[in-house]
Amino acid sequence: MSTTRPLHHAFMEAAAAHPDRTAVVEPGQASVTYAQLEQLSDRLSDRLAAMGVQRGDRVGIYLRKSIDAVAAIYGILKAGATYVPVDPGAPPARNAYIMANCAVRTVLVEARVADKFRAELQALGADVPLLVQDGTGGGEPLAALLDALDAQVPAPIANHPLPGADELAYILYTSGSTGKPKGVMLSHENAVSFVDWCSETFQPTPEDRFSSHAPFHFDLSILDIHVALKHGAALVLIGEEAGKDPQNLARLIAEEQISIWYSAPSILALLAQFGKLARANYPHLRSVLFAGEVFAVKHLRTLCELLPDPRYYNLYGPTETNVCTYYEVLPPVPAERSTPYPIGKVCSHLEGRVVDEHGVDVARGAEGELCITGRGVMQGYWAMPEQTARGFYTGADGRRWYRTGDIVVEAEDGNFTYRGRRDRMVKRRGYRVELGEIEAGLYRHPQIEEAAVVAVADEEAGVKITAFLSCKQERPLSLIELKRFCAENLPLYMIPDRFAWQTGLPKTSTDKIDYQRLKEMA
C-alpha cells in the first residue's frame, strides 16, 4: 500500500476510469460527472499557475459547500498547493485572520462576502489577491469566473507539480486556547494513509453514494470527499439548512439512495428522534459512521431499532490524526445499556499507547492519556513551533507521539473507552471548541469586564456551554444584544447556550477565576 502518491491522484485515476459516472451531486439542483469535475479543476489549476501559485503555496477556499468548492480543492492540489478551507458562515474577520496567518497566495471567495473580507485582510496588512465568483452552485460560477479571466488573459495549460509525501495537502484551522484559531498541517502522506485505511475498512465501490454532511473546513469531510472520489462513487452534498432538518434529511437519504453515511452523532440523534424514519425505506444504506463526540446510548439505540440493517461504526480521533481508533457497534443496543460504546482499537496505519502525566505507560485498565504515532499524524501547527512541541513527546525509540489530550482506559480486549478531556477543550456538534476562544470573543465587547466559559455534560446535547459575565455598567447587556454580538464574532457552534450575569466572578485563593465553582453553578 503506497502512500507516496499525492492525495488528488486517486481522483484523477477514477476520472480516467469512470469519466461518465456522476462524481458530485447537489440534490435537486445540479450534478457533474468525473470528466466534468476533472476539466473544471484542471482549468482552475492552470489559472492558479498563471497567477504564480507554486508548489507548497497555500490557497484559501471561502465558498459554501458546492461543486465549485470540490473543484477548488482538486484544482489547488493539482497546482501543487495546499488548500485552506474556512467556515463560510463564520465572521469575515475570523476568516481573514486565518488566511493572513498562513500567508495564502490567493483566496477563492464569493462576491456576497468579498468586500467585508477584503477590508478585514487590509486591516491585518495582508495584500492578498482574491478570485471572486458570483455565488456557488453546480460549478457554473467558478466556470464563469475562469471564462472571464481567460477572456482577459488566457491561462496556458500548466504541468501538474508532483508534491512529496511530506508536503502539505491541506491545513484545517481549529479552535485555539489563546483565542486565535490554529492551523493543523496535514501532509499528502497523512491524508493518503487515512484514505487508504478507509478503503480497506469500508470497502467502497463505484456504486456507492456517500453523504457529505460535514462542512469542508471540518476533518470529517476528508473521508467524505477523498474516499468517495477515489473509488468512482458519487458524493452527495448536503447543505447547512438541509442538514439541520431531520425530516428533510431522512427524505434526502432515501431519495438520493445514500449508501455510506458519515456525520457527528448529534445529527443522527436528531434523525432518530424527529426524522420519522419509519415513513421511508433505506435499502441502499449499508454503513453508518459517526465521529466527533460521544453518541448518547439512548439515541443510538433508537436509531438502530429504526435502521437495523446498516453496519454502525464509532470513529474517534482529533483533527491532528483524523480517525485513529474505531469500533463497530453491533445492533441491537441492549435495553439495559446506558454507558457509551468504546472508541475501539487503533487503526492499522497508526499505533497508540496510554501514558500518565510523565509519559510513562500505564497498566491496562488504568486511566491515562491516549497518544498516537504513525503515518496519519499531523506535521504540526502552522507557524506555532512551541505549540507543536507541547503537542508531542518523543519516545525512547525516537518516535514522536501526539498527545491527544483525551483520557482513556484500555480494556482486556484491547478496546479503548473514552473518559474525558485533559484540558478545557470540548466537542460540540462535532466541532472541537476551546472554551478560551469563546472567552476571547466575548472580551471583545467593550461592556464586558470579565468572561468565563464552562461546559457541563448534557445527556441530550452532549455538552452545554454557559458564559458567566460581569458588566462594566450597572445595566447588563440584554440577551438579544449578546446573541447579536456573538453571531458577529463567533462561529454559530461556539455561541454559548446560556449567559449568566454576576456582580463579580468567583476567584480562587490565588485570585484566579474559580472555574470549579462556576461549573457547580452551571
Tell me how far apart the alpha carbons of residues 75 and 161 are, in angstroms, rounded to a whole number: 12
Of the candidates 347, 361, 357, 349, which has an alpha carbon nearest to the alpha carbon of residue 395? 361
Residue 268 corresponds to which cell in the numbers above? 443522527
Is 124 in a helix, a strand, or coil?
coil
Residue 303 corresponds to which cell in the numbers above? 436509531
According to DSSP, the residues that pair with 22 across neighbouring strands are: 33
pLDDT tens for 46-84 read 999 999 999 999 999 999 999 999 999 999 999 999 999
Tell me how far apart the alpha carbons of residues 227 and 229 are, in angstroms, rounded to a whole number: 6
User: Looking at this protein, which amino acid is placed at residue 153?
Assistant: V
User: Largest Cα–Cα distance in the chain?
Assistant: 69
Q: Are strands 325-329 and 392-394 parallel, antiparallel or unpaired?
A: unpaired
Domain ranges in the chain are: 33-163, 427-521
Of the candidates 457, 454, 452, 455, which has an alpha carbon nearest to the alpha carbon of residue 441? 452
Which one has a higher pLDDT value, 329 or 447?
Answer: 329
Phi, psi at residue 444, to the nearest 5°?
Answer: -70, -20
Cα–Cα separations (whole angstroms), residue 422 to 175, 370, 407, 515 = 16, 10, 6, 15
Tell me how far apart the alpha carbons of residues 277 and 373 are, in angstroms, rounded to a whole number: 40
pLDDT tens for 3-47 read 469 999 999 999 999 999 999 999 999 999 999 999 999 999 999
* Whether the predicted pLDDT of 2 surpasses 90: no
CATH topology of domain 33-163: Rossmann fold (3.40.50)
In this prediction, residues 119-126 reach a mean pLDDT of: 97
* Residue carrying C-alpha cell 441492549: 334
Give residue 144's pLDDT band: very low, low, confident or very high (50, 70, 90): very high
Q: What is the mean pLDDT of the chain?
A: 93
Tell me how far apart the alpha carbons of residues 489 and 469 are, in angstroms, rounded to a whole number: 16
Tell me how far apart the alpha carbons of residues 163 and 465 are, in angstroms, rounded to a whole number: 42
Residue 122 corresponds to which cell in the numbers above? 487590509
Cβ within 8 Å of residue 408, ≥6 positions away: 343, 354, 367, 368, 369, 370, 416, 417, 418, 419
Q: How many CA atoms lie within 13 A of 87 on its CB side?
A: 22
The confidence score (pLDDT) of residue 446 equals 85
Give residue 457's pLDDT band: very low, low, confident or very high (50, 70, 90): confident
* Whether the predicted pLDDT of 496 surpasses 80: yes
Whether residue 326 contacts residue 316, with contact meaning beta carbons closer than 8 Å, is answered with yes
The confidence score (pLDDT) of residue 508 equals 61
pLDDT tens for 266-314 read 899 889 999 999 999 999 999 999 998 888 888 899 999 999 999 999 9
Residue 45 corresponds to which cell in the numbers above? 489549476
Same fold: 33-163 with 427-521: no
Give residue 253's pLDDT band: very low, low, confident or very high (50, 70, 90): very high
3-state secondary structure 197-258: HHHHHHCCCCCCEEEECCCCCCCHHHHHHHHHHHCCCEEEECCCCHHHCHHHHHHHHHHCCC
| pTM of the predicted structure, to 2 decimals | 0.87
Tell me how far apart the alpha carbons of residues 404 and 38 are, in angstroms, rounded to a whole number: 37
pLDDT tens for 387-412 read 999 999 998 889 999 999 998 999 99
Tell me how far apart the alpha carbons of residues 513 and 129 are, in angstroms, rounded to a whole number: 44
The confidence score (pLDDT) of residue 441 equals 87
* Residue carrying C-alpha cell 454503513: 287
CATH topology of domain 427-521: GMP Synthetase; Chain A, domain 3 (3.30.300)
Of the candidates 468, 446, 443, which has an alpha carbon nearest to the alpha carbon of residue 455? 468
Tell me how far apart the alpha carbons of residues 232 and 206 are, in angstroms, rounded to a whole number: 5
According to DSSP, the residues that pair with 229 across neighbouring strands are: none
* Whether the predicted pLDDT of 471 surpasses 90: no
Tell me how far apart the alpha carbons of residues 146 and 492 are, in angstroms, rounded to a whole number: 32
Tell me how far apart the alpha carbons of residues 234 and 260 are, in angstroms, rounded to a whole number: 10
The confidence score (pLDDT) of residue 109 equals 98
The confidence score (pLDDT) of residue 512 equals 65
**Where is 96: in which H helix or E strand?**
helix 92-101
In this prediction, residues 182-207 reach a mean pLDDT of: 98
Give residue 428's pLDDT band: very low, low, confident or very high (50, 70, 90): confident
Q: How many CA atoms lie within 13 A of 29 on its CB side?
A: 15
According to DSSP, the residues that pair with 59 across neighbouring strands are: 83, 106
Tell me how far apart the alpha carbons of residues 215 and 189 are, in angstroms, rounded to a whole number: 22
Tell me how far apart the alpha carbons of residues 288 and 262 are, in angstroms, rounded to a whole number: 6
User: Mind giving me the DSSP string for 291-343?
Assistant: -SS---HHHHHHHHHHS-SSEEEEEE--TTTSS-EEEEE-SSPPTT--SPPP-
Whether residue 240 contacts residue 63, with contact meaning beta carbons closer than 8 Å, is answered with no
pLDDT tens for 79-104 read 999 999 999 999 999 999 999 999 99
* Whether the predicted pLDDT of 192 surpasses 50: yes
In this prediction, residues 200-211 reach a mean pLDDT of: 98
**Torsional sign, CA 145, 150, 155, 156:** positive
* Whether the predicted pLDDT of 510 surpasses 60: no
Is 27 in a helix, a strand, or coil?
coil
Computed on alpha carbons and rounded to an integer, the radius of gyration of the chain in Å comes to: 23
Give residue 177's pLDDT band: very low, low, confident or very high (50, 70, 90): low
**241 C-beta neighbours (distance < 10 Å), count:** 8
According to DSSP, the residues that pair with 457 across neighbouring strands are: 463
The confidence score (pLDDT) of residue 396 equals 85
